[in-house]
Chain A
Amino acid sequence: MNLAIRDVRFNLGRFLLTAVGLGLLLMIVMGMGGIYKGIEEDAVLLIDELNADLWIVQSDTRGPFAELSRLPANVEDRAWAVPGVASARRFVTHTVQREYQGRSIRISIVGLSWPTDRGEWLPIISGRTIAQGHYEMVADVTLGLGVGEHITLGKDTYHVVGITKNMISSGGDGLAFMSIADSQAIQFDAAGEATRLERAARRGRAEDDDITQSQPGMLERANMPASMNPAFGSPMVSAILVNLKPGVDIEIVREVMNGWADVTVYSGEQERQLLLQGPVDRARRQIGLFRVLLVAISAIIMSLILYTMTLDKIHDIALLKLMGAKDRVILGLVLQEAFLLGAIAYVLAYFIGKKLFPFFPRRVIVTNDMLVWLAFAVMVICIVGSALGIRKAMSVEPNEVLS
């Protein structure tokens, strides 16, 4: 005869309420783990998807994610020339926060190196990747844009042609992909008035300089667009991504590029580590600590619950002992109720979490590993939590029935 089940049935309401409370607590433990994992995955997701063997960034920086990196676009051409390089792409990223249809959206814009990179690698869930070098973009589903929508950024209007899933920046913002030229147009967009003033100022400076006396053509050009002035370089990019031909030793190529004084080169794995140790490290550690605390708190609460549950039955336990019940029977009663409570709470946590986590503003990734870990933790908590109650139950003298 199973005493635990009968006792639970007798106090069903209270037991279920306790299980729900504990389930919510476990759900939060699970969620914390999921958020931790989510931050980690989101952080490295773009790096993993870009899948570059080498990252060339501004010299002595840890860019382009951990800090700002700017380098001339022509480094790409230099990279192409290194033996063993299969491809080199420019990479540009920056974040904008704009109003769109009355709401504010944060977009992390990633420039694709058109035409070599058309974003075929993107995890598109609807629509297509970009098919022209201008005015098309692919947006992540979290941005809330639909295929066919038009969004104005800077002076141009962009047509959303495709939607990706789970493409999030390390800051948690949805990514949007477009050609580098477009992304730079947005980044360096200036109001018409600002441009006019800048050109006028440029002309003013040219007039003050005696070089324009001998070179009147320069004066002419001073108030034309920057792209018509050979003296102005093209806009900087964030990084150059390099992929190697199969079988090429990464260290040899790196050696060559490290010889260039104006850049620093990282491997894909190093870039990942930079990101994990940089921007997301503190958030990660904070959540990790919180998670440990939550587990400890759950254990304490569970102990208290199991202890009071045992105290409630102490008279019955004394009675069982009086009737000559073996310790095993009493141990079973306390432990089985603990496991039942733990199991119900765990299942509740799982299902509530499953329903709730998708509504979280950031990704919550609950992996199977984590579920196994949590099940194991709940089991340990059940055993440790019962310890107090079991000690109490075991020390009860049968003659306490008489009191």
Chain B
Amino acid sequence: MTQHAPAIETIGISKIYGSGNTEVIALREATMTIQRGEVVALLGPSGSGKSTLLSSIGLINPPTSGQIKIDGKVVMDGPKPFVNLQRYRRERLGFIFQKSNLIPFLSAIENVMIALSISGIEGRPAKRRAMELLDSLGVAERAKNLPSALSGGQQQRVAIARALANKPSLLLADEPTAALDSKLGRQVMELFREIGHENQAGVLVVTHDQRSLEVFDRILHMDDGLLTELEVANSKPK
């Protein structure tokens, strides 16, 4: 891994859903870069292609054309994978969704531990790290509870802990605060900023929430599949 390679780089990726009459162009040659430690927001109207971009970068929705590089390495060229995608997702990516998407039959701490287990970390070390993460997100005292016994905000924080478990180089969040009230939403956004800066991870957050934009280093805008960069909202990271 090159020291200064960007966390993620896309070079002219397009995504076309369907074909013929039902063809939808969701992404039009999107090119962008997110450095490690950079916290970036992605805005845009509904249906503009934000989720499509995020899932393409997340290696779960291959683009029709264009290249995706992670940590300086080409991982996708068009729909063709160049690496073991499962492994890349496991080792370098963290996902957070609008709904928390916790596994309902696992307790809060087990939901974090399962991510560690998938990367081969088991037993006491896994437990310790999971507890640390929950603690840093302020939900340590609910560690033994099932997701159904947690509030929406607590669930989301457990989901964030899980996404951070494997120290990803890139954190992808799709409307993570949509289910939260504005105060809690704000807290979560600030958390992303901290995480990005402290862990030297790239963070890309899709959001509709105009009020907390100042926490981001950069703001990208998407409209009808076209990606543009808005003026820098904050000073550049250190």
A binding-site residues for B, Cβ under 8 Å: 1, 3, 6-7, 9-11, 316, 319-326, 329, 397-399, 401-402
CA distance A326 to B90 in the complex (A): 9
A9–B51 contact, CB under 8 A? no
Interface members, chain B 164-215 (any A CB < 8 Å) = 174
A324–B118 contact, CB under 8 A? yes
* New A-B pairs, 15, CB < 8 Å, besides A324-B86, A324-B90: A1-B113, A3-B105, A6-B110, A7-B105, A10-B105, A316-B104, A319-B103, A323-B115, A324-B88, A326-B118, A329-B118, A398-B60, A399-B60, A401-B95, A402-B55
Q: Which residues of A contact B104 (CB under 8 A)?
A: 10, 316
Q: A6-B106, A316-B103 are in contact. Are A326 and B60 (CB under 8 A)?
A: no
CA distance A213 to B105 in the complex (A): 106
Q: Is B87 an interface residue (CB 8 A)?
A: yes
Q: Which residues of B contact A316 (CB under 8 A)?
A: 103-105
Closest to B122 in A: A1
Closest to B113 in A: A1
A399–B55 contact, CB under 8 A? yes
CA distance A185 to B153 in the complex (A): 93
B114–A320 contact, CB under 8 A? yes
B60–A322 contact, CB under 8 A? yes
B105–A325 contact, CB under 8 A? no
Q: Is B91 an interface residue (CB 8 A)?
A: yes
Q: A6-B106, A324-B90 are in contact. Are A401 and B101 (CB under 8 A)?
A: yes
Q: Nearest chain A CB to B117's CB is how many angstroms away? A: 5
Interface members, chain B 11-34 (any A CB < 8 Å) = none
A1–B95 contact, CB under 8 A? no
Q: Nearest chain B CB to A286's CB is how many angstroms away? A: 45
A1–B60 contact, CB under 8 A? no
Q: Nearest chain A CB to B55's CB is how many angstroms away? A: 6
Q: A1-B113, A319-B101, A399-B55 are in contact. Are A325 and B106 (CB under 8 A)?
A: no
Q: Which residues of B contact A320 (CB under 8 A)?
A: 103, 114, 118
CA distance A9 to B146 in the complex (A): 12
Closest to B174 in A: A402
Q: Nearest chain A CB to B164's CB is how many angstroms away? A: 12
B97–A402 contact, CB under 8 A? yes
Q: A9-B105, A10-B105, A324-B90 are in contact. Are A402 and B118 (CB under 8 A)?
A: no
Q: A397-B60, A401-B101 are in contact. Are A325 and B118 (CB under 8 A)?
A: yes
Q: Is B89 an interface residue (CB 8 A)?
A: yes
Closest to B88 in A: A324
22 A-B residue pairs with Cβ-Cβ distance under 8 Å, sorted by A, are: A1-B114, A3-B106, A3-B114, A6-B110, A7-B105, A9-B105, A10-B105, A11-B105, A322-B89, A322-B95, A323-B90, A323-B115, A324-B90, A324-B118, A325-B86, A397-B60, A398-B60, A398-B89, A399-B55, A401-B60, A401-B101, A402-B51
Central interface residue in A321, A324, A325, A329, by most chain B CB within 10 Å = A324
Q: Is B145 an interface residue (CB 8 A)?
A: no
Q: Is B234 an interface residue (CB 8 A)?
A: no
Closest to B106 in A: A6
Which of B97, B114, B118, B146 meets A401, CB within 8 Å? B97
CA distance A120 to B138 in the complex (A): 84
CA distance A316 to B87 in the complex (A): 18
A324–B60 contact, CB under 8 A? no
8 smallest CB-CB distances across A and B, nearest first, come from A324-B90, A10-B105, A324-B89, A399-B60, A398-B60, A7-B105, A324-B86, A325-B118
Q: Is B61 an interface residue (CB 8 A)?
A: yes
CA distance A11 to B95 in the complex (A): 27
Closest to B86 in A: A324
CA distance A1 to B103 in the complex (A): 13
Central interface residue in A7, A319, A323, by most chain B CB within 10 Å = A323
Q: Which residues of A contact B61 (CB under 8 A)?
A: 399
